[in-house]
Amino acid sequence: MQLLDGKLTSEQIKAEIAEQVNIIKASGGKVPHLAAILVGNDGASETYVNNKVLDCRQVGFESTLIRLDADVSEAELLSRIDALNKDKDIDGFIVQVPLPKHIDETRVTLAIDPMKDVDGFSPASVGRMTLGMPTFISATPHGIMELLARYKIETAGKHCVVVGRSSIVGTPMSILMSRNSNPGNATVTLVHSRTPDMAAICRSADILIVAIGKPNFINESMVKDGAVVVDVGITRVEDSTRPSGFRLVGDVDFDAVKGKCSFITPVPGGVGPMTRAALLMNTLKAQSMQLQK
């Protein structure tokens, strides 16, 4: 078994991006600038956004964090988005989800200029990805594809099973893996909570990608010998032995499964850091797209 080490790979990607920023600076160009809107003070969202700001700093990007109260009106949020769409200094921006219940997430994603949609959540970005057109691919699927590419995982002609069909992970993953590209060209099965005999389908996977949010759900009886396993799940599980009071647990029972895999992502240190690196890759791309406008 070999680890698909997202932490190490993301550090390599960040070093490559920092190098690009140095080249931009040396030629007097504009440094990429990412903005993030954070509504309310959900603990996990705070951590995610703070990490994104830290990542920007590490590679030399500029970043702007806009904090709005949890009771901000949808109209006010949309007007902030409109201002970011028009702000020539901002290359790309994200609106951290989940949003409070009184705000319509679809209306929010529709309001973001697709040229600045570095999260790749807007219908325009998803549509372009589905058609194989140039676009921003949302950070988690993008990060996973990059990890598979850098480890030279053979995907063509393989059976890839994606567990979970969310619009930000499972569904785009299934589309990307079935596209005529490398990585890609896999035969894909997408399974979800209504799929009968899921264990048998998982056992037939050469590449198993799991994104359901159920700690340790995938056990050794669901994994084929030699499979490549990508664990997207991150659930905070109470752990009084940790200073934080919790630990992060994936959807795959790593210890039970690792002996059967050819490659496997750890949690933490697998898909999470690759997601963060992918947002930086998208922001660098956004900056070059703004220049071409």
- Say which DSSP state 31 is in: P
233 lines the binding site for ligand NAP (CB under 6 A): yes
Q: How many CB atoms lie within 10 A of CB 69?
A: 11
235 lines the binding site for ligand NAP (CB under 6 A): yes
CA distances from 247 to 7, 240, 252 (A): 17, 9, 15
Which positions from 101 through 160 interact with ligand NAP, judged by CB under 6 A?
Answer: 140
**Segment interacting with ligand NAP (CB under 6 A) among 111-119, 174-182, 233-241, 280-288:** 233-241
228 lines the binding site for ligand NAP (CB under 6 A): no
CB neighbour list of residue 281: distance below 8 Å, 6 or more residues apart:
13, 17, 142, 146
Pairing of strands 2-3, 261-264: parallel
Residue window 269-288: x/- pattern of binding to ligand NAP, with contact defined by CB under 6 A? --xx--x-------------
CA distances from 182 to 113, 116, 157, 209 (A): 28, 26, 11, 17
**Total of chain residues touching ligand NAP, rule CB under 6 A:** 24
264 lines the binding site for ligand NAP (CB under 6 A): no
96 labelled catalytic: yes
Select from 213, 256, 262, 289 the one that contacts ligand NAP (CB under 6 A).
Answer: 213
Give the span between the Cα atoms of 140 and 63, in whole angstroms.
20
Instruction: Tell the smallest beta-carbon distance from residue 277 to ligand NAP (Å).
Output: 10
Pairing of strands 235-238, 246-249: antiparallel
Residue type at 78 in one-letter notation: L
Instruction: Tell the smallest beta-carbon distance from residue 147 to ligand NAP (Å).
Output: 11
Select from 179, 214, 247, 258 the one that contacts ligand NAP (CB under 6 A).
Answer: 214
**Segment interacting with ligand NAP (CB under 6 A) among 63-71, 124-132, 239-247, 267-275:** 267-275
Residue window 158-197: x/- pattern of binding to ligand NAP, with contact defined by CB under 6 A? -----xxxx-xxx--------------------xxxx---
User: CA Rg, the chain, in Å?
Assistant: 19
Tokens of 167: 């619009």
Instruction: Tell the smallest beta-carbon distance from residue 6 to ligand NAP (Å).
Output: 8
119 labelled catalytic: yes
Task: Find the catalytic residue in 55, 96, 158, 231.
Answer: 96
- What is the secondary structure of 167-216 as a DSSP string? TTTHHHHHHHHHSSSSS---EEEEE-TT-TTHHHHHHT-SEEEE-S--TT
71 labelled catalytic: no
Catalytic residue list: 52, 96, 119
List contacts with ligand NAP (CB under 6 A). Answer: 140, 163-166, 168-170, 191-194, 198, 211-214, 232-235, 271-272, 275
